[in-house]
Structures are given as structure tokens and as C-alpha cells.
């Protein structure tokens, strides 16, 4: 008998609500394959630093991302230990890669990081 993993509907709707924003969803898709810091997101989304910071805070609040300071930068990554990581992952893997964003950053010399 196969046990299908399920997620409580309240928690699921909370997660979907957070992912239901193009900026945050793209962030999550990017973080699926790349660690990024705030200033990189600022470039990628062409959005103000506080706006980016506030989006990241929401993702941090429900612990779907984690942060790690390295020198003056804070790198974000997906929290693979999150109870609902399989659910999140199943969504993200259906989204197209966002490699152009990263490539553009690198072309501009703005990747890894924030010179």
C-alpha cells in the first residue's frame, strides 16, 4: 500500500499564498538551484532593497528559506529540512529554470557578489 504524502490544507494555503507572488515565486525558483544574496535579487528584479528584503522576510518567517551570513553578505537558500519541503519542491520543479537571470548577473560582473 502506497502512502501518499499529504499536507494540511491550512498550511498548504498559507504556503501557496506566499508563492502566489511573482517575485517570491521567482526567488524560490532561483534559490532551488542557486544561493543568492539580497543585492543580487535587487539587480535581478530591478527592485528596491527594502522591497526585496521584505519579500525575503516573509519567506524566512515561515522558514522556507534560511540565511547564512558570510562577511557583509547574507546568502539565502532553500530550507530543505522544512516539513513541507516536498510540497514546495513539487511546485518549483514545474517552473522553468531562471538561468538567464543568473547569466545576466554574471555578464554584468555582479554575481558572487556585489563588487
Partner DNA sequence: TCATCATATAAGAATATGCTTATATACGCA
Partner DNA sequence: TGCGTATATAAGCATATTCTTATATGATGA
| Chain residues that interact with a copy of itself, rule: CB under 8 A | 4-10, 12-22, 24-26, 29, 87, 90-91, 93-96, 98
Residues 89, 92: Cα–Cα separation, whole Å: 5
* Cα separations in angstroms, 17 against 14, 50, 99: 5, 21, 25
* Smaller CB separation from DNA, 19 or 92: 19
CB of 100 to DNA, least distance (A): 20
* Smaller CB separation from DNA, 7 or 25: 25
Contacts of 39 (CB under 8 A, 6+ apart): 49, 73, 110, 113, 114
* Smaller CB separation from DNA, 67 or 87: 67
Which of 12, 16, 103, 114 touches DNA (CB under 7 A)? Answer: 114
Helix axis angle, 22-33 relative to 38-45, nearest 10°? 130
Residues 78, 59: Cα–Cα separation, whole Å: 9
Using CB under 7 A as the binding rule, the residues of this chain from 24 to 53 that contact DNA are: 37-39, 42, 47-51, 53
Interacting residue ranges for DNA, rule: CB under 7 A: 17, 21, 23, 37-39, 42, 47-51, 53-58, 67, 69, 71-74, 113-115
Amino acid at each position: 500500500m502506497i502512502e501518499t504524502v499529504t499536507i494540511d490544507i491550512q498550511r498548504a494555503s498559507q504556503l501557496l499564498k506566499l508563492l502566489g507572488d511573482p517575485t517570491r515565486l521567482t526567488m524560490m525558483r532561483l534559490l532551488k538551484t542557486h544561493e543568492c544574496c539580497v543585492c543580487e535579487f535587487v539587480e535581478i528584479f530591478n527592485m528596491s532593497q527594502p522591497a526585496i528584503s521584505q519579500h525575503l522576510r516573509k519567506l524566512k518567517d515561515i522558514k522556507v528559506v534560511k540565511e547564512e551570513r558570510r562577511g557583509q553578505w547574507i546568502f539565502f537558500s532553500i530550507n530543505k529540512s522544512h516539513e513541507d519541503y516536498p510540497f514546495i519542491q513539487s511546485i518549483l520543479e514545474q517552473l522553468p529554470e531562471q538561468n538567464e537571470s543568473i547569466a545576466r548577473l554574471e555578464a554584468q560582473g555582479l554575481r558572487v557578489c556585489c563588487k
